[in-house]
Amino acid sequence: MGVALAVSPWWWTAAIPLAAVGALGVWDLVQRRHSVLRNYPVLGHARFLLERIRPELQQYFVERNFDGRPFDRDIRSIVYERAKGTAAEEPFGTERDVYQTGYEYLVPSMAPRPVPEHPPRIRIGGPDCARPYDMALLNVSAMSFGSLSANAVLALNQGAAAGGFAHDTGEGGLSEYHLRPGGDLVWEIGTGYFGCRTRDGDFDPGEFTEKASAESVRCVSLKLSQGAKPGIGGVLPGAKVNAEIARVRDVPEGETVISPPYHQVFSTPRELVRFIARIRQLSGGKPAGFKLCPGSRRQFLAVCKAMIEEGTAPDFIIVDGAEGGTGAAPLEFADHVGTPLTEGLTTVHNALVGTGLRDRIRIGASGKIATGTDLVKRLIQGADYGNAARAMMFAVGCIQAQRCHTNTCPVGVTTQDPRRARALDVDDKATRVQRLQEATVTSALQIMASMGVTDPAQLRPHMLHRRVDPQTVRSYDVLYDWLSPGQLLVEPPADWAADWKAADPDHFTV
């Protein structure tokens, strides 16, 4: 009896897990959902486990320093180091193949210039703007409260306030977390008109006027489309729509929020231009503009014609590239729909130059800007300033887990789960945001000085080269057409003539 009692606990300790494994095996054999488990009961679960942790294995153990996606290890490392204020230098030379087709490089000067003590700022505000704003060279791109946690928004805005740069709210409304730290804001209005919408989802001019009067709202922006998912609108899962988000967005609590793919406030290029003028007036004369991922050149030229005929224009246009980020999008859209930023920028810049409008409209660039090199390239391609989203997310702790749409972000950046969001320390991450912006702009100025220029306005297309095949290198002034001021109005070049002729300010003709 004594021996039996002594052995019994050991027997039961082993029997319970064996019984559980046996039960799992029986279930695997009879279930009909997974064929692999029917053929390989119990052992087949290893396949699903490895699939679940595949992104982490790929990121940390498989990919090389320079070929990861969306951001490689080198880029993530330089962002983290600059945000933390640590050294961001590398020894022993580049790991990139500089003879690979598509490799781009900036052209240094034999007569470098001193780096300016103070970064230049870009005046936003055309002749119809009563309250222009001086934009920094790099700013926080559009990310909504709801997509981001409250702590993430607070850290971004607090960092922007400390560094003197702008913070785009995204289309999710104007929350207290955007307003509390006092950083400069670009209030973005999307197709859902969140924060300034009527009960049936239309634009509410009264609510817009009231909120746009806030001192920290420096510019207002109408979102037409987003680079990672142009033409389909956005989705915020109901699990993320708590009482606070519902209040900010003027939507029902707990229900999935869908941004329509189109606007109700305009249906033609002319109506778009008139609405931009309207929100500028409603905001008290603050700079007003729009954001888009360019598609049809003909449609954008139609908007330019509408600007000319209406005698008014936006103060700025933000060009979002197809390589831009998003919390969630269909893979087909993220991979195959939309114009990459290089082509989008050159198209918008040249269209405005060719129609004589470029002097009154500033261009912002957004889409995978993370380093000083990225910023200088975009300035050469036609931008006046840049916006960064995912790089700023790295600064507040993002580890590229790519779970933004699941509400299970492991570092509290893209979640509304208070237990996860508390991991993000606002004061610490705000300092990192400020450091990243300052270091990136400083890097851009150092690069420009090495190229022999001290101001972005001195950058020219011939200063950026691309290898087009193993034996051939071309500069951007050869790779792309660059129109002269007013050229489309006088004698359109052959490549532009058909689109210019077909562009109709009263129709979005494809």
What's the pLDDT at 64? 66
66 — pLDDT class (breaks 50, 70, 90): low
Q: Is 213's pLDDT higher than 70?
A: yes
Does 51 score more than 90 pLDDT? no
pLDDT digits (tens, 9 = 90+) for 448-491: 999 999 999 999 999 999 999 999 999 999 999 999 999 999 99
**Which residue is listed with tokens 């920028």?**
345
Give the span between the Cα atoms of 206 and 186, in whole angstroms. Answer: 19
**For residue 347, with 0-12 CB atoms within 10 Å meaning exposed, 13-18 middle and 19 or more buried, which class applies?**
buried
Average pLDDT estimate for 208-218: 97
State how far the Cα of 406 lies from the Cα of 236, in Å rounded to an integer.
10
The alpha carbon torsion through 366, 367, 373, 377 (nearest 10 deg) reads -70
pLDDT higher than threshold 70 for residue 31: yes
Mean pLDDT within 15-20: 81
Q: Is 1 exposed, middle or buried (0-12, 13-18, 19+ CB in 10 A)?
A: exposed
Percent of the chain with pLDDT over 70: 95
- Position 19 scores a pLDDT of 84
pLDDT-based confidence at 11, cuts 50/70/90? Answer: low
Average pLDDT over residues 188-216: 95
- Res 299 pLDDT > 60: yes
User: Does residue 93 sit in helix, strand or coil?
Assistant: coil
Confidence check: pLDDT of 164 > 60: yes
* pLDDT tens digits, one per residue of 240-280: 788 898 999 999 898 888 788 889 999 999 999 999 999 99
Q: Per-residue pLDDT tens for 379-390?
A: 999 999 999 999
Identify which has the larger pLDDT, 176 or 14.
176
- Higher-confidence residue of 450 and 24: namely 450
Average pLDDT over the chain, rounded to an integer:
90
Residue 6: is its pLDDT beyond 60?
A: no
pTM over 0.85: yes
What pLDDT, on a 0 to 100 scale, did the predictor assign at position 69?
67
Averaged pLDDT for residues 220-225: 96
Give the pLDDT mean for 24-50: 83
Q: Identify the residue with better confidence: 472 or 71.
A: 472
Q: What pLDDT does 39 receive?
A: 82
Confidence at residue 3, expressed as pLDDT on a 0 to 100 scale: 47
Which residue do the tokens 């039961």 mark? 12
Q: How far apart (Å, rounded) are the C-alpha atoms in residues 211 and 308?
A: 30
Structure tokens, 345: 């920028």
What is the reported pLDDT for 183? Answer: 97
Per-residue pLDDT at 343? 96
Name which residue leads in pLDDT, 161 or 398: 161
Would you list the DSSP string of 205-242?
A: HHHHHHHHTSTTEEEEEEE---TTSTTS--EE-GGG--
> pLDDT per residue over 319-370, tens digit each?
999 887 777 677 777 777 889 999 999 999 999 999 999 999 999 999 899 9
Phi/psi of residue 328, nearest 5 degrees: -165, 135
- Looking at per-residue confidence, does 229 or 275 come out higher? 275
pLDDT band at 8 (very low <50, low <70, confident <90, very high): low
Residue with tokens 């054999």: 29
Say if CB 323 and CB 227 are below 8 A apart: yes
pLDDT for the residue numbered 188: 97
